[in-house]
Amino acid sequence: MKTNILKCGALLIAILAPIAAHSQGLVGGAANGASNGADNGNRAAGPVGGAVGGVVGGVVGGVTGGVDGLLGIDQRPRFHKYVVNEHRKSYHYDQDVRDGAILPSDGVEYYEVPAEYGATRYHYAVINNQTVLVDPQTHTIVQIIQ
């Protein structure tokens, strides 16, 4: 019996990983992965499959898309193109542009992220010709958009 449960769990991981990987970017990845995983697992293997599928889907969804409010891999090129089309002025920053760097509150132009990209908790700026997501309260770079 335990062997069958483990085999079902391994099979569900193999089946659900690609599904969870295509979650909608970072926003909601863990929630969607867990929900989809539980539903698919329940259909495939009953209550045990639902439990295993929910856990596996949540973990995979969390890894591929569970960071709250940041842009997912699939959203970054589209958002970068949006920023380029907006012709935002680049701020010259004398230090390294990196996650965790704190930008000055004066001189940098901060812009709201459009709702369609899902990162509305943050603002963005163009620093040394690089687009960055910034925490609007602390001016900390939280993500560099390549």
Task: Map 71-91 to HEC letters.
Answer: CCCCCHHHHHHHHHHHCCCCE
Is the pTM higher than 0.75? The answer reads: no
Mean pLDDT computed over 101-112: 94
Helix (H) or strand (E) holding 134: strand 130-134
- Return mean pLDDT, the chain: 74
Q: Helix or strand or coil: residue 34?
A: helix
Task: Report the SS3 class of residue 143.
Answer: strand
> For the residues 51-80, what does the mean pLDDT come to?
65
Query: What are the residue boundaries of the structural domains of the chain, listed by start?
Result: 2-65, 76-145
* ∠ Cα 76 109 130 (to 5°): 35
